[in-house]
A and B are shown apart, each in its own frame.
Chain A
């Protein structure tokens, strides 16, 4: 295998941003017909390496050779012309256009000088069906879909072309296991056709499932290139974090349950048949202080919509909601926050980050909003809080004045989590809080959630990763087709149990 010329050969690549050396002499080789995993902690430089390859960032040092020819792409368009197809970490599509257009934008089939729209539809349908996404209407507007669907559309776009190299930067971070399997089927087909695939994920199972070989980065430096089958998981983890740490053991530890405090007989939040036309219906839940409620359900089953109702981001038009024993109508997030409810959205780019402000400003935003504009959180308090949470959550770079848009995806997620922790809410709704977070940080966050609950905070936990939901939650609400169909206590519930309920209920 080694005699073969690599399809992509990145040699000794360096990239420096003001104040950060994001990549320092990193090399990467991709061969025909392999799935290559790029591994590393949050901020290790994975996305940067991908952007260097595809012409988004100019490199400060090193060479890039694609199919034997040395290249330095200066735009993504040039990389695409060299048949490199990429899905970037953040969904980069046009929300104002239809799904089919997003899939084929820039390469629409034409006839007699005009776009052949019927052919566009057909091709879009084809690729969607290939990904088992036949249920998505190709004519629907992209922004009407959830982040997960948008991510799938981005993937559909990338596999729609006849590429030599396919790059997927955390494509699975918001997908359910079924979608992941669909994606892997497609990846395997492409691999067998000889496509070189670069795959980034923080899910070790997926990496071991799909990859043949991996390159590990740490702090912008190359750790090494390994055959997947030769490198055990523990070895990989210690290579990524740079020390012998038993992250898996810690995972076990996080599992150890606390007993929720049900001494207060009135639940903190109690929803009865809460719903909203066109959004989600029949939400009936009760959450006590110190309890963790997990929301389970397939993609598009209404998990995020439920969260938005309980937070007042969308206004409910059916049912009742009691918070702290009193009936409430939540008109705006503000009114929910005043009751002690907090909500961290799954859509970090659009609904979380204030991109042009610093880490510190982003951290204190929710607290400041609660105090009102007149009572500014004093500068030194801001600094203290920022430093405290940067340390507590290990946010990197540990610089409170860095612009949040320059942080890596996982670190941005931690900042947003901290934004709400600072306000010390009574109910914290976490929509995909561990998306894009590396394995070390993930256990850390899971532990944090458990300990917050032990301290009496109620938590609603939403994750596409069902194992995670089962591990953490005290009880589990199951959604199907935008309707809540069950709320079961978590006494040893298994994934199969949940799937049975989903399959069985025809509510």
Chain B
């Protein structure tokens, strides 16, 4: 052994397309932590990696699929869920995860989310909520808090945002959780639970986008937003989801937890035999 140098490898190195580095994400962005967390959940789930597929839409989060060394699809803005439905129904052996942004999944792609959850399609859905359209330079979107400043709400956001976990649970999603990229161990556990379940599973992950949201909304850099999460988050799986809104203010709470874990018949097209 003497004289040889051993380079320590990260346990999920083989899940990252290292030949694509450096990635496009900004310093302080929450996407790296969320992706790494999901990569280790994929490994730890014990599901064969050859059968795990990741589908993304468009956006900074939409780039996640492309950095993961599994079969991965970077589709069009808003259409990750229906693309994933096609993959899953045509080959039920696949474990399909949709990994996309708040705008992709709840603005332009909102209708697909609605119907996929209602049908209880067997999909694992992870939404990175950074409260804005990061990719296009920080415009407001369907999760931007009321009053927030973005490049298209210079006078403050006039629209009330979606409460994503409430939306998902009211549509009948069988697993619903919300974590932040600070709560990485809880998020990892939550992802494992989701990967172990069948039906429409939904995890909202709050993540800093200092460029598009944090700096213009009195939160600051990525690290400041992590401190913000530390101060403002409470874990309460039993919370009333209708009240679990997010204001991103220094005097408001953010409720986290694995909120819903139920069973419901999984979608099978009419007359279909697997």
Q: Do A and B bind each other?
A: no
